[in-house]
Amino acid sequence: MNKVKLSKCSIESDVIKDFYLSNEYLTVKFEYSSIKGIFGSDNGKYIDWISFSDKFEEAVYYPNSITFDKKLSVILSTEPALAVSVKGQIKMKLKVLFEKQLRIPVVEKILSSIEKYEVHQNKNEIIIKGKSKRISIVVEGAKFNVRRSGDILAFDINPSDEAWILFYFGDKRPSASKIKESHGKYLEYLSNIFNSEDELINSLFVFSLHTAISNHKIGIENDFSVLYAGPSYALPARTYYRDSFWTSKALLPFKPSIVKDQIQVLSDGIDENGNAPSGIVFASKEEFELSRKFANLDPKVRQFQRRPQDWWSDHWDSPYFFVLLVYDYLRWTGDREILTEDILKKIRVILDKFEQDKWIFFKDEDVKDWSDNVVRSGFVTYDLSLYAGSLISASKIFESIDQNTSAKYIEGYKTIKRFMNDEIWKADHFADYINEKIGKIEDHINIDTVVTLLYDIPDNDETFIDTLKRYLFTKNNDEQRFGDWGILSVWPFYKYKEDLKFKSAFPYRYHNGSDWPYWDGIIAKILLSRSDPEWKYALLRSWEYSLSNKWYLPVEYYSPPFGRGGLLQAWSATPVWAIVSGGFGIEPDINGNFSYKTPPWGKSTLKFKLHSKDIEIN
């Protein structure tokens, strides 16, 4: 089978190289038909690999399950348990590896600890137990024998009809039927939220919403409920301000309690001066102590990790994403209990920081915002726009609390808007950044300047949108060399090569030109809100390109010459937001008032939550 068969909740094709299953507790990495790691949310690796004797050619990929050649299925339920269904004889090998790793930032030092374990068998159950980890393997509906050679367990399984091999990671043993049932309900839940007559849009919605939900993690060792940025962000376990903000755009109409937990966690990362790191680390006392020792040995690490829980201290955009997330949460839930004295104080500290500078700040020469492989400084459109957006959002939060503060923030917003249109606007778009002190003006078109449109900043918004479409949409840009493959993040490429770091040093790569599907979703939302006919390209092109390359989960970024970044990238769920708030036009105000429209793709249904009420639109 060379052709991909697409339905709302499944993708059928040849066996592909990379796929993930992920729930609140576990992440399962696949390479072709072998498992290449089972990881706990914050306590490292349980199993290094699992291989099966059969060679499979075709597979059907679902959110959190795979079926190979109609003979073997792997299902990750909503619990810390994995089930393998087998029809016919099969051999299975696995390597146990109770490993925990900690990555030290900047120096990229990885510290590993291996936990010893014992193996016991009780009838049809194998128990593998270490100091803090435990795996139980249960074989149901088959005769089997197991042999151990060091860390490797080899199973010969002979089913009478259908056999189930259950892996559960804790004390509570689920049944195969319960795992199958819970997964079926999960697929039914994803399938019933949104429906249209366009199967490509349906599948994009389902796999994008699954991506957001599956990156909600509950600590096994540590007590937390947070959003990860993706499967690659558990070394150490951490959550980010900006990634979680964009991911929450997809979750708020459906899973607002996850966002409430996220706000509480992010609030703890804001210091007394209104600064916040890129992300927050969750680690044990021993790991924090190891990290502290490395920080004392290397001043670069101390600068990067000013506090033990910081993942890259003092990022410019992080505090503003916190304010914006609180406002979004209030709009969708009406839950004013989130506005504790502590959170209101932190919002004031964040926003009042530049009041004495007439609301305009001059960014240092650093890489401390989303574009963290590029040195940008001076008046940076992206960072100033987020500040303006958080000011106008906070003004609405404070309307019923302190009218003077509310009015002050409105004036701050107007000041930034006026400054940006007077000083940063260049003919038909905003410059990326301007630093006249060092003689650098990067006046190319940067996709991150679209945040100005979210907060009504451009005076010439239609001109700006036309410019974005003309140069960043690859189908319209004949100067770039690779045809129609998505949306460029910048055009032309960065001109100050000395300010480009790592992956962004190359044209078409990372911040220097790759397509970032999360930005595509943001642009799609903007175009759908304006009934712009180019909405379809922004919404669907990266998903079409991904499917053609057999990337069946939303990716971090990609470009033809350099391939892709990580799969199951949380913030790449923004197409869900585009469909709900752009397509249907649902953008509630702080009192829960909203209107809606018929989306441009035609007849559709949508179910969502608003201010604790279940709403259905036909």
Per-residue confidence (pLDDT) for residue 483, from 0 to 100: 97
Q: What is the pLDDT of residues 69-82, one digit of tens each?
A: 999 999 998 999 99
Q: What is the pLDDT of residues 509-546, one digit of tens each?
A: 999 999 999 999 999 999 999 999 999 999 999 999 99
Per-residue confidence (pLDDT) for residue 1, from 0 to 100: 58
Q: What is the pLDDT of residues 134-175, one digit of tens each?
A: 999 999 999 999 999 999 999 999 998 999 999 999 888 899
DSSP 172: P
**pLDDT beyond 90 at 284:** no
Q: How many residues does the chain have?
A: 618
Q: What are phi and psi of 220, to 5 degrees?
A: -90, -45
Q: What is the pLDDT of residues 307-344, one digit of tens each?
A: 888 999 999 999 999 999 999 999 999 999 999 999 99
**pLDDT beyond 80 at 44:** yes
Q: What is the pLDDT of residues 367-391, one digit of tens each?
A: 999 999 999 999 999 999 999 999 9
CA distances from 315 to 280, 321, 378, 496 (A): 12, 11, 15, 22
Per-residue confidence (pLDDT) for residue 236, from 0 to 100: 87
Per-residue confidence (pLDDT) for residue 171, from 0 to 100: 85
| 61-65, 109-113, 291-295, 569-573: least confidently modelled range | 291-295
> Taken in order 516, 319, 107, 231, is the CA torsion positive or negative?
negative
Q: Give the pLDDT mean for 537-559.
A: 98
Burial 118-127 (b: 16+ CB within 10 A, else e): eeeeeeeebe
Question: Residue 183 in 3-state DSSP?
Answer: helix
| Closest C-alpha to 389, from 397, 377, 379 | 397
Q: What are phi and psi of 594, to 5 degrees?
A: -155, 160
Q: What is the mean pLDDT of the chain?
A: 95
Share of the chain above pLDDT 70, in %: 100
256-268 and 318-333 helices cross at what angle (nearest 10)? 150
Q: Give the pLDDT mean for 197-226.
A: 96
Radius of gyration of the chain measured on its C-alpha atoms: 25
- The confidence band for 290, taking pLDDT boundaries of 50, 70 and 90, is confident
Compare 170 and 108 and report the one with higher pLDDT.
170
**pLDDT beyond 80 at 297:** no
Tally of CB atoms within 10 A around 288? 16
Per-residue confidence (pLDDT) for residue 119, from 0 to 100: 96
- The confidence band for 109, taking pLDDT boundaries of 50, 70 and 90, is confident
